[in-house]
Structure 1
Amino acid sequence: MQIERNFTQFVVFAEDTVLTALSKITANKSRLIFVVSESGILQGVLSDGDFRRWVADCSSIDLNAPVTRAMNPRCRTGLIGMSPAELLPLFSPQIQLIPLLDSHGRIAAVAMEGARELRIAGRVIGEGSSSFLIAEIGNNHNGSLDLALQLIDAAAAAGVDCAKFQMREMKNLYVNSGDSNDMSSDLGTQYTLDLLERFQLSDDDLYRCFDYTAQKGMIPLCTPWDLSSLEKLNRWGMEAFKVASADFTNHALLSAIAATGKPLICSTGMATELEISSGIRHLRKLGAPFALLHCNSTYPTPYKDVNLRYLARLRELSDAPVGYSGHERGIEVPIAAVALGATVVEKHITLDPSMEGNDHKVSLLPSDFARMVEAIRAVEESMGSDAERAISQGELMNREILAKSLVAACSIPRGTRIEPSMVRVQSPGQGLQPYRLQDLLGQTLNCDKKPGDFFFESDLGDGSVKARNYHFFNPFGVPVRYHDLALFSKSSNLDLVEIHLSYKDLDIPLDKAVPEPVPLGLVVHAPELFSGDHTLDLCSLDEDYRNHSIRELQRVITIARLLKDRFECPEDVLLVTNVGGFSAHQHLCPDDRRPMLEALVDSLGKLTSEGVEIIPQTMPPFPWHFGGQRFHNLFVDPDFIESFCQQYGYRVCLDVSHSKLACNHLGQSFHRFLERILPLTAHLHLADARGVDGEGLQVNDGDIDWPLLFRMLRDHAPKASFIPEIWQGHKNQGEGAWLALERLELHDQPESASGSDRLAERDPAESDLSQSVLR
């Protein structure tokens, strides 16, 4: 159990809106919020269940209504000062938070059962959150404020969450008042006292360090070595306290720190398991929020003594967040600790390991610290979860190319019952996987198959989606290749087709590719990959590479101009192009993007595009390039897209899947994105999206609010055309595209929205918020 006295994340005022309450529920991850009056008196509670009941009872949903309308006035409570043993019966599987009231009915604290996370200055520490990285400056400033500030700068540049110091009142801490000249002291004690005497910062200098740390965007922490230091640090406003290994058995100091109501991060070096268990029991009895750091207090620690597997034992003993405080050489052990579940990592930092003092010898240089932070973040991202394994988008792309499928071994007429001799296994993997053979055998075909045709899921008896006529407010079409142009263009009441060219298509004579006039509008999609493994990049800083891209795109423009005459295209034909601007290892900072933009503008200026309108495609943050993932830097965020279009007179192809992923990655509202970019849009690609790299999903299989998108499309881009851009939607005679159009048609309804749609008309960030509670 944990008593949380910093409980602002768990309360809203009675005058606040339901939306504000939902926002806090999402932020605190506790599925409820307490409602208080201006004076702090408890009024009620709003849980996700309460919100559901309120929604069910409302004829119309108004998220700006006062939270008191949706809250439950009945709330289980405790009294401040109750012991953990007295509080325990108040909890249940449904109730994990108990507000503790004072004699006036005001919330004074919140009791949390089994809390396995800490909150420090708004930062959540625990499983499911990125590890809290501490740069231990300690006394490595060697008594110099200037050196201390340089270490803070180095810690900030390395990307840590926290810079930590130490404070001692020497005359109170040591029996000899910290006198290093005391000849009766042991040699080790005398050496340490000599260092501490010379390398202390004044209290004022430490306060300046704390302030500077906060200014640099990090959380300042400090280890109080005595009660006097604790009092001063608490008076300054320290958000939490670090307990040194040497003090984990000092229950009096632990009690004093716990009395502040602030979280404790406690190192356990030099303590036996019996002593660790005793300290845990003491902290539990106090109801203190804490995390424990596995630690070996040897400087430097031999690898054989690190014993990282003890992290699991420490987690079992404490039922609290655990981490690692390292004194070994190098960066490998803290990285491994994170892979084993460490939620806090502490490591010393120095500007010169040869400086006087033991800590310098086990400290990392700023460059090494930065490498450790980068590696830890990479490990965290790679950890994933123990959920059922799913195939990533990149794997799906490679599977399509490299895997095998069930294909027709001969001509098979519709109505035939499938027998083993009619099926063979061949690449590529665009149809049913070979293990589905037994599911396929004995099925009766609902369509004709030619030798080499793939078998699909729809051949297993569920029936496939066929093309029909559709009705949309905006002009619409489907993506096609030369080989299926005739089939697709006659299958429905399309307004246009979007021809996707490969670099091989550039060499096909147009009389062969499009032998007859096509009574439809036209959009052309330029290849991304050209002969010689050349990915189009008009933004490349390599002049030879960029000039090659310019030449290739000029060939595409020429073909688009010639194709225009074979379609009903009275205006300039739209040419969708991924203009480039990607990087291989990480996203670039704004200063590094500027040369890319300048190269792009120069490249576009060298193209002859009469009769063709180049419309750069909006891009995802993590594009898939032929089975591998890269980092995109241009046409991702709305600021760049809007600025580029307005300054250089371009319109864009808005790929809603790409841009939803970009908004998810940037933490921005997709609603606001659409408001800004739709007026600059000539054409759209419609597919669903999930997360930050789940692109091209079938409509309704992701997170996009389609009714909202169509309403905004009518308002902001009524003449813009669109196609469904479902990944592999062309397979099985366009089954994915036709299914997408069926689903999109249901969302393109002009009539008034239902209650749930009215909720979705708000900022999608708000809609997502309420949906997260509903889920």
Structure 2
Amino acid sequence: MNASSGKNNPKQSLTIADRLVGDDHPCFIIAEVGNNHNGDFDRAIALVDAAVAAGADCAKFQMRKLDEVYRASSLSGKDDDLAVEYTLDLLRRFELTTEQQRRVAAYCASKNIQYLCTPWDASSVATLETFGVQAYKVASADLTNLPLLAKLAATGKALIVSTGMSTSDEIRAAAKFLDDRSAPYVLLHCQSTYPAALHNIHLRFMETLREIHPLVGYSGHERGIAVSIGAVAMGAVLIERHITLDREMEGPDHAASLEPEEFKALVSGIREVEAARGKKLAERALSQGELINRENLAKSLVAARDIPAGTVVAESDIAVKSPGQGLSPLKMPALIGRPLNRAMAKDDYFFQSDLDNGAATARRYRFDRPWGVPVRYHDTERFLEICQPDIIEFHLSYSDMERDPAAYLSGTYDLGFVVHAPELFAGSKLMDLATPDEVLRRYSLEQTQAVIDITRGLKKFFPKTKRPPIVANIGGFTMDEPLSPERKAECYRIFAASLKELDMDGVELIPQTMAPFPWHFGGQRHQNIFIFPEESAAFCAKHDLRMCVDISHTKLAANHFGFDFGEGLAQLGPHTAHLHFGDAKGLDGEGLQIGEGEIDFDAIGAVLRKHAPGASFIPEIWQGHKNMGEGFWTALERLEGRI
């Protein structure tokens, strides 16, 4: 295939050892040691260790037989200029022996990092083939060295080809030469000056290289890490940067190298950019956080006046107001002229069901375990009029904590109840009974005790519930990064201490299983405790606690951390008092409608029937309460007979 037809090249990825390199795979990161060991074997080992600690995929070295690479007269110093003489002096002093290179390769294998090498001559290729090297780097200086390219292509190994110091025509010629030999390779954009000036780098030349060959990376010699990270954002599938223990050391590459902590920051930055870059989307997908903010901040179509059922909706019947919990204003043209199948009060939301054939409605559902719905004080009576649950779960806000339940409830109810403690309290304070911040912990204790007292007060309305559970998000979150195992253990210890300070007579506090990236104020944080089933089960056994297992949260944790979802639910089962059912997708798509995520509810139903047969449940569907609980009724329809 002609190299210029790269867009049609079927080789969209290649393999280096067990790592796939290409657009849909993590960027392959090379820590280029080169000769920065300055001929010292122990320093070479230290640089491998630094590459491992930084998270690089490989540590790369160089090998050359000087009598093959240079003319005899150059080696004798007779007729070359001072620059060549200086370079040869450094190479003679800073080379590792073949045996030392072999030992470095073995050390890399013991540290689970790839050893790669740049051979500068055919003899070095032959030597490296005895090492079992998985790929070869072609230095910019050898892009036009067709005999060496042929030797390397004949190995069948992946080639990483730098294009510094070469013209576009030379790059095209070399690419065609490799394509004609069916060699797997990556082209690296490179500015071969040490360090390279920013105005000479021209990262967008990667776009031109991609027209020549589909796999393109970047070999950087600039100061800092921003440009290399930017190259990944622009699609580089491989990044190569020099690593050194000290930029002040003698040698030509040290000044353009990164010291260990800088290299670590580079790897971290690349992984962050990859996570943010994602994949090309046919449509823009809203994150769960955006949906939350959209509900709070956007606009809806609402009734401009009281509207009787059967009214043909006119433009004058519609107003656009926040929050965004109803029909989008974009749907106004479709709404005008339609007969309304229900009566609406002024400021009531219009919903999608006003355009369709009506909303899902409640009925008496049949489950082998107690079931219910989440309610607020103000909609309890309305929900109980249209369904007959076994339990209800009061979701308290911090404002509800100041309200008198007797203003909304009357008499007694022949059903059980659960209380869900607020996650957010007044003053934008998040509940955290596991924080080392003693001021916040004491505030959380006070507020939790108030929830306990409210729960005890609710028992008079629900006399059949002797020890009502209180679902609580315990806390233990961090803003910027997850906690170390030691600090996480400290969170559990602090929570255990908090439990002893609460008066829980007549109630039961049940921590909720958490997702790895909880949404707070429409943004994400890192959750650290009550994520791993084995860990949560052990804590419950030690402290005689039961839990609320949020199926959606636990699925997201399984997705992120890679544990077996069904096995995790089995571990949690004996400690499960109550369940929240919602679907889940990816790493943070929580509370989705049943059937709109990744969970196999038939499979988990079998697990829960065996390990948590008596646990009650509610559907925990995001915004399921809207339109008189339409989302809850849909979820219950889809769960019936499965859990």
TM bin (shorter chain): over 0.9
Show the counterpart of 2:56.
160
1:328 equivalent in alignment to 2:232 = no
Alignment of 1:133-152 (within 5 A): 133-152=29-48
User: Does the 8 A contact of 2:190 with 2:220 survive in 1?
Assistant: yes
Show the counterpart of 2:304.
409
Q: Which amino acid aligns with 2:363?
A: R
Q: Which amino acid aligns with 2:186?
A: A
Q: CA deviation at 1:420?
A: 2.0
Aligned residue for 1:653, secondary structure, equals strand
Q: CA deviation at 1:514?
A: 2.5
Q: CA deviation at 1:139?
A: 0.7
Rounded to whole Å, the distance in 2 between the matches of 1:454 and 1:376 is: 45
Q: CA deviation at 1:723?
A: 0.4
Rounded to whole Å, the distance in 1 between the matches of 2:521 and 2:141 is: 55
Aligned residue for 2:264, secondary structure, equals helix
Show the counterpart of 2:527.
632
CA RMSD, Structure 1 to Structure 2 (Å): 1.8
Instruction: Provide the aligned length of Structure 1 versus Structure 2.
Output: 638
Rounded to whole Å, the distance in 1 between the matches of 2:487 and 2:55 is: 19
1:481 equivalent in alignment to 2:376 = yes
1:715 equivalent in alignment to 2:591 = no
Rounded to whole Å, the distance in 2 between the matches of 1:694 and 1:212 is: 42
1:115 equivalent in alignment to 2:8 = no
Rounded to whole Å, the distance in 2 between the matches of 1:683 and 1:173 is: 73
1:653 equivalent in alignment to 2:548 = yes
Identical-pair percentage: 50
Q: Decide which moves more: 711-720 or 683-692.
A: 711-720
Q: CA deviation at 1:568?
A: 4.2
Show the counterpart of 2:576.
681
Rounded to whole Å, the distance in 1 between the matches of 2:251 and 2:98 is: 21
Show the counterpart of 1:346.
240
Rounded to whole Å, the distance in 1 between the matches of 2:65 and 2:505 is: 79
Show the counterpart of 2:100.
205
Q: Which amino acid aligns with 1:522?
A: F
Rounded to whole Å, the distance in 2 between the matches of 1:178 and 1:359 is: 22
Show the counterpart of 1:217.
112
* Superimposed CA distance per residue, residues 296-352 of structure 1 (whole angstroms, 9 cap, x where no aligned partner): 111122222111111011111123x11000112121211111111111111111121
Show the counterpart of 2:327.
432
Q: CA deviation at 1:386?
A: 3.4
User: Does the 8 A contact of 1:171 with 1:178 survive in 2?
Assistant: no
Aligned residue for 2:130, secondary structure, equals helix
Rounded to whole Å, the distance in 1 between the matches of 2:319 and 2:607 is: 48
User: Does the 8 A contact of 2:36 with 2:244 survive in 1?
Assistant: yes
Show the counterpart of 1:194.
89
Q: Decide which moves more: 166-175 or 526-535.
A: 166-175
Rounded to whole Å, the distance in 2 between the matches of 1:399 and 1:686 is: 23
Show the counterpart of 1:245.
140
1:550 equivalent in alignment to 2:451 = no
Q: CA deviation at 1:564?
A: 2.3
Alignment of 1:45-444 (within 5 A): 114-176=10-72, 179=75, 182-319=77-214, 321-384=215-278, 385-444=280-339
Q: Which amino acid aligns with 1:127?
A: D
Alignment of 1:427-466 (within 5 A): 427-466=322-361
Structure 1 runs of 4+ with >4 Å offset: none
* Superimposed CA distance per residue, residues 336-375 of structure 1 (whole angstroms, 9 cap, x where no aligned partner): 1111111111111112111101100111122222222222
User: Does the 8 A contact of 2:433 with 2:476 survive in 1?
Assistant: yes
Q: CA deviation at 1:516?
A: 2.5
Q: Which amino acid aligns with 1:586?
A: E
Q: Which amino acid aligns with 2:101?
A: L
Q: Which runs of 5+ in 1 are unaligned?
A: 3-83, 85-95, 97-112, 749-775
User: Does the 8 A contact of 1:120 with 1:263 survive in 2?
Assistant: yes
User: Does the 8 A contact of 1:618 with 1:635 survive in 2?
Assistant: yes
User: Does the 8 A contact of 1:522 with 1:569 survive in 2?
Assistant: no
* Superimposed CA distance per residue, residues 682-728 of structure 1 (whole angstroms, 9 cap, x where no aligned partner): 11100111111111110111111011122222111110011000000
Rounded to whole Å, the distance in 2 between the matches of 1:241 and 1:565 is: 76
Change (3 A) 1:600 1:207: farther
Q: Decide which moves more: 605-614 or 472-481.
A: 605-614
Q: CA deviation at 1:513?
A: 3.8
Q: CA deviation at 1:746?
A: 5.0
Q: CA deviation at 1:438?
A: 1.4
Aligned residue for 1:490, secondary structure, equals helix
Q: CA deviation at 1:172?
A: 2.7
Show the counterpart of 1:52.
none
Q: Decide which moves more: 183-192 or 616-625.
A: 183-192
Rounded to whole Å, the distance in 2 between the matches of 1:381 and 1:647 is: 37
Q: Which amino acid aligns with 1:370?
A: K
1:584 equivalent in alignment to 2:446 = no
Rounded to whole Å, the distance in 1 between the matches of 2:213 and 2:317 is: 62
Rounded to whole Å, the distance in 2 between the matches of 1:471 and 1:645 is: 30
Rounded to whole Å, the distance in 1 between the matches of 2:392 and 2:47 is: 60
Q: Which runs of 5+ in 2 are unaligned?
A: none
User: Does the 8 A contact of 1:489 with 1:497 survive in 2?
Assistant: no
Rounded to whole Å, the distance in 1 between the matches of 2:33 and 2:446 is: 55
Q: CA deviation at 1:177?
A: 8.7
Rounded to whole Å, the distance in 2 between the matches of 1:377 and 1:253 is: 34
Show the counterpart of 1:663.
558
Q: Which amino acid aligns with 1:383?
A: R
Q: Which amino acid aligns with 1:154?
A: A
Q: Which amino acid aligns with 2:238?
A: V
* Superimposed CA distance per residue, residues 220-251 of structure 1 (whole angstroms, 9 cap, x where no aligned partner): 21111122221221111111111111111112
Q: CA deviation at 1:576?
A: 0.6
Change (3 A) 1:281 1:611: same
Rounded to whole Å, the distance in 2 between the matches of 1:617 and 1:578 is: 6
Q: Decide which moves more: 480-489 or 441-450.
A: 441-450
* Superimposed CA distance per residue, residues 171-204 of structure 1 (whole angstroms, 9 cap, x where no aligned partner): 332222984x624332111111111111112223
Show the counterpart of 1:764.
none
Q: Which amino acid aligns with 2:469?
A: L
Rounded to whole Å, the distance in 2 between the matches of 1:248 and 1:360 is: 23
Change (3 A) 1:451 1:708: same
Q: CA deviation at 1:592?
A: 2.7
Q: Decide which moves more: 248-257 or 527-536.
A: 248-257
Rounded to whole Å, the distance in 1 between the matches of 2:537 and 2:460 is: 32
Change (3 A) 1:477 1:177: farther
User: Does the 8 A contact of 2:417 with 2:465 survive in 1?
Assistant: no
Q: Which amino acid aligns with 2:190?
A: C
Q: Decide which moves more: 428-437 or 354-363.
A: 428-437
Q: Which amino acid aligns with 1:201?
A: L
* Superimposed CA distance per residue, residues 556-576 of structure 1 (whole angstroms, 9 cap, x where no aligned partner): 111112212321444421111
Aligned residue for 2:228, secondary structure, equals helix
Rounded to whole Å, the distance in 2 between the matches of 1:682 and 1:360 is: 61
Q: CA deviation at 1:515?
A: 2.9
Q: CA deviation at 1:591?
A: 2.5
Rounded to whole Å, the distance in 1 between the matches of 2:558 and 2:301 is: 39
